[in-house]
Amino acid sequence: MTVTPPVSVQSAPVVCSPDGAGLMNTTLITVAPTGAESSKSDVPALPVTLDELVATARECQALGVGVIHVHIRDQHARATLDQGRLRETVQALRAETDLIVQLSTGGAVTDSEADRLAVLDAEPDAASCSMGTVNFGRDVFFNRWDFIVELHTAMRDREIVPEYEIFDLGQLSTLQRLLDKHGPPYGEHVHADLVMGVPGGMPGTAAALVAAAGMLPAGATFAATGVGRTTLPVMLAALSAGGHLRVGMEDTLTYAPGNAVTGNAQLVARAAGLAKIAQRPPMPIEDARSMLGVRERRTATA
DSSP labels, 160-172: -EEEEEESSTHHH
Q: Distance between CA 234 and CA 69 in Å, rounded?
A: 18
CB neighbour class for 101 (10 Å; exposed up to 12, middle 13-18, buried from 19): buried
Q: Distance between CA 158 and CA 211 in Å, rounded?
A: 33
- For the stretch 56-82, pLDDT in tens is 999 999 999 999 999 999 999 999 999
Q: Distance between CA 27 and CA 259 in Å, rounded?
A: 27
Q: Could you give the percent of the chain with pLDDT greater than 90?
A: 88
Of 5-19, 34-48, 111-125, 213-227, the one with minimum mean pLDDT is 5-19
Assign 19 a pLDDT band (cuts: 50, 70, 90): very low
Handedness of CA 79, 80, 86, 92 (dihedral sign): negative
pLDDT at 146 over 80: yes
What average pLDDT does this structure show over 225-239? 97
Residues forming a β-bridge with 140: 135
The CATH number that domain 29-291 falls under is 3.20.20.70
Per domain, the residue ranges of the chain are: 29-291
Assign 18 a pLDDT band (cuts: 50, 70, 90): very low
Cβ(8)–Cβ(224) below 8 Å: no
∠ CA 119-42-94, rounded to 5°: 35
Q: What is the pLDDT of residue 12?
A: 40
- For the stretch 21-39, pLDDT in tens is 334 799 999 999 999 999 9
Q: What is the pLDDT of residue 108?
A: 87
DSSP state of 204: S
pLDDT at 83 over 50: yes
Q: What is the pLDDT of residue 299?
A: 76
